[in-house]
Structure 1
């Protein structure tokens, strides 16, 4: 049980760390802060509820079962954080948001105090690490404490479930997917954790023993629900960035043939190191360096080479755009060859503007790189046009 609970705490905590990976930016976003606080509190709940943690806390304080009000108080704080998260997620006028947040804190603050007070008034001398809810289900004050924390947690999760259902009908894409994952996690918490706890406690009231539901079924269900919720929180925030970095890495690699051909001509300063940089940063540097190299090779661009290559490409059945890119690739390959050989620039270089410099982003450069990568066609065109124009 310790392993399952600590694993859930680790996943929850990792989710908060990932969302809070840029503290300077994150602290200015109330939604990010409230999300991270909620996830972090959920992680602490799992840590506190582990039998090993409970035993340690009890030993350190010298009070049997002191870990119970600590865990239940933390769970109530987590429930409050869920409501605060919903308030910031829904948004609205700042004054209204602030007022609703204060109301949530005003509701759950006394609840946490009541949990501690009820525990102090109760007689809980026998340490129970896994079945305190059912063992003390009929004990005065502890009975009320157990009901109080369960009701507070149920109220928050049910409200969040209702809002997730409403919003999932109004949004699309990753946000809807995230909401549905959160909803699935919350429903699993309601059915697998809360309902089993209620059932086991009520069974004790009626003289029956269903402790298995509380001690064996509830913890793993709560852990699985936490895993789904953390995925729902993280997915809409991180997946777009991950996809963007994936596209950047793909373009970075596809630019390799072009970069290999012109890198000698680039004078752009190299970054301090490249192995740790994110793909977007590496792609930006390569894009800037290639444009710098193209500017340096422009005096070597020969219109005669390009025009002959263009005619050959059109006769080969290529479209006008494909023929243009192929011809520009041949002209660039010819210019790079002569510049690398130390030849003098042309007296009247081409005034033609490459397609790659006319479009924003890396799409034009990628097309040029792919044309250069088609080595048989480009090599044939290049050799033929070079012999014709210089022979």
Structure 2
């Protein structure tokens, strides 16, 4: 069971690492800070609740079952952090957000202290790594400690579920999807972890044995519920950034034909050597380098090539915009060919401005790159220009 719990903790922690990819920026954002605190506490709950960790903590402290109040305290702190995170996520007037967050902390700090005090007052000399809740369900003080941490966790999760249900009716898109994931994770936690724990403890009170619910069913359900909750919190914040990086990667590749054609003319500094540069950074460098190359090739632009390619495209039924891009691709290919052959620039420069240099972003360059992939207009325009020059 320890391996499963550790894997859940690893996945949980990775989501926090992704959010903290820019620590300086993240530290100034209360929402990011509260998200990472919740993820960090959730990770610690998983790590502390693993039997191997419990045994190690007990051995290090020399106190049997010392890992129990540590885990329960962490779980209570995690429950509080989820409420604080949800408060920051929903937003509102800063003063109101701050007051609600402080109230949540004010409730759970005494709860954590009470768990520690009750453990100290109770008699837990027999080490139990997997079934402490049921083994000590009838032990004075420890019984109250177990009920207290379960009630604290239940209060937080039920409050979260109610708030998320209400909020999900007011929003759309990724935010609603994230809220629904949180709701699903909370319901799994309530039904799979809390209900089974309550049932197993209540069974001990009535003289029955349902320990299997607490030891076998509750832990994996708690892990799954927590992972779904973390996915719900992270999804609306990470998915747009991931999609933007994916689009940048696609654009970077689509600019390949254009870059291959004009890279010899670029005088921009080379790309950073770091292999881990994000696609957006790589795309930005390629855009700058291509624009630099286009500026260097401008003296070779031949309006005759462009006009003939445009007329040919229009005759084939292309729209005015498509014809313009095809014509620009033909003119650019011709200019690159002559510049690479070290021919002299035109006596009278064209002065024409490419569409890709008039629009922001990579879309214009991508259109030009895709047009360069077709050679019909380019070949026809070159042939027409040569015939004209000979004529």
TM-score by length of 1: 0.97
| Aligned-residue CA RMSD (Å) | 1.3
Matched, 1:251 2:251: yes
Q: What is the aligned partner in structure 2 of residue 350 from structure 1?
A: 350
Structure 1 contact 313–323 (Cα < 8 Å) conserved: yes
Determine the C-alpha separation between the residues in 2 that align with 1:35 and 1:176.
17
Structure 2 contact 308–381 (Cα < 8 Å) conserved: no
Deviations 1:10-65 (A, max 9, x none): 11111111111211011111111011101110110111111111111111111111
Gaps of 5+ in 2: none
Structure 2 contact 334–378 (Cα < 8 Å) conserved: no
Matched, 1:223 2:223: yes
Determine the C-alpha separation between the residues in 2 that align with 1:80 and 1:312.
69
Q: What is the aligned partner in structure 1 of residue 384 from structure 2?
A: 385
TM-score by length of 2: 0.97
Pairing 1:267-282 to 2, within 5 Å after superposition: 267-273=267-273, 275-282=275-282
Query: What's the offset of the Cα at 1:274?
Result: 5.6
Deviates more, 1:11-20 or 1:204-213: 11-20
Query: What's the offset of the Cα at 1:215?
Result: 0.7
Query: What's the offset of the Cα at 1:378?
Result: 3.4
Deviations 1:171-227 (A, max 9, x none): 111111111111111110111000100011111111111111101100010011112
Gaps of 5+ in 1: none
DSSP 3-state at the match of 1:126: coil
Determine the C-alpha separation between the residues in 2 that align with 1:267 and 1:385.
32
Determine the C-alpha separation between the residues in 2 that align with 1:259 and 1:382.
21
Determine the C-alpha separation between the residues in 2 that align with 1:275 and 1:373.
28
Query: What's the offset of the Cα at 1:317?
Result: 2.5
Q: What is the aligned partner in structure 2 of residue 260 from structure 1?
A: 260
Deviations 1:271-313 (A, max 9, x none): 2326321111111111111111111111111111211222222
Determine the C-alpha separation between the residues in 2 that align with 1:227 and 1:175.
17
Determine the C-alpha separation between the residues in 1 that align with 2:385 and 2:177.
56
Determine the C-alpha separation between the residues in 2 that align with 1:351 and 1:306.
12
Structure 1 contact 55–129 (Cα < 8 Å) conserved: yes
Deviations 1:341-391 (A, max 9, x none): 11221121212221111222111111111111013x134324312322332
Query: What's the offset of the Cα at 1:131?
Result: 0.7
What is the number of equivalent residue pairs in this alignment?
390
